[in-house]
Amino acid sequence: MTSGLAGQKLSKYSYHDDDDDYDDQIMASRGGPMVIGTDGADFEHRQRVAAHYQISALNKARLKYCIFFHYLLFFVMLVKLSADILDRLDIFILEIEELQIPQPLWWEYFWCLSVFLSYFGLTAARRNRINDMKKYMVGISTVAFVPLLYCLIYYLNDVSEYISLEKGTELEDTDIFVWQGYPYGLLWYGFVLLALQVHFFSLYFAWNLIKAWRARGTLRKEQ
């Protein structure tokens, strides 16, 4: 009687390993028919899709950084234009007037319009829209690049003359436009070089996103 009860308790609380059954199933299936979708082709397809998702996520993050730096440059330009804007609004601030900020040229206001193109870039990145990303690229190529190139040409003479100056030459003795003791054109060249880098990388990452989205669409059609 005692041995019977002990046997029942052991059978009741005996441990059952599901992994053993899974291993037995694998051993039994070896040499048998292969399950559909496990011949390696499906794995390679998923790997390619995952790679495109990684490329898309990486370039989205980098594009957002570029747009962030675009905003920073926009605020720098806005500070420069503040004197002219306040003057048009008949607002007088002595501290700003004392800076004697030069009157802006048309390209400065025109370049500021490029900041609104970030809407297309961010919308396209959020919703994976190729057409919106194309609009963003076309806008940056025109509204952002054209005024910057104009600035480079406009101040080319001043910058080249400043670079070719002999040591000891005073800027006041030249035809170079000076603001706060610095060559005005050279200051703009510094701004333009930063802006060109931001816009160039924005176009580069935007194009990478378009390629990744197109490739992912092709893979979906192949399914």
Mean per-residue pLDDT, 112-128: 95
Spatial contact of 166 and 160, defined as CB atoms under 8 Å apart:
no
Q: At 127, is the pLDDT very low, low, confident or very high (cuts 50, 70, 90)? A: very high
Cα(194)–Cα(140) distance, rounded to whole angstroms? Answer: 15
What per-residue confidence (pLDDT) applies to 49?
Answer: 55
pTM: 0.74
- Which of these, 162, 166, 170, 167, lies nearest to 186 by C-alpha position? 162
Judged by DSSP in three states, 166 sits in coil
- Which of these, 209, 202, 85, lies nearest to 148 by C-alpha position? 202
What per-residue confidence (pLDDT) applies to 172?
Answer: 77
Mean per-residue pLDDT, 144-159: 97
Cα(106)–Cα(28) distance, rounded to whole angstroms? Answer: 79
Task: Find residue 182's DSSP bridge partners.
Answer: 179
Indicate the helix (H) or strand (E) that contains 125.
Answer: helix 118-127
Mean per-residue pLDDT, 90-112: 92
**Count of other CB atoms within 10 angstroms of residue 149:** 13
User: Any residues with CB less than 8 A from the CB of 195 and at least 6 apart, and which?
Assistant: 73, 111, 144, 148
What per-residue confidence (pLDDT) applies to 173?
Answer: 73
What per-residue confidence (pLDDT) applies to 20?
Answer: 42
Could you tell me the residue ranges of all domains in the chain? 41-222
Least confident of 34-43, 106-115, 178-187: 34-43
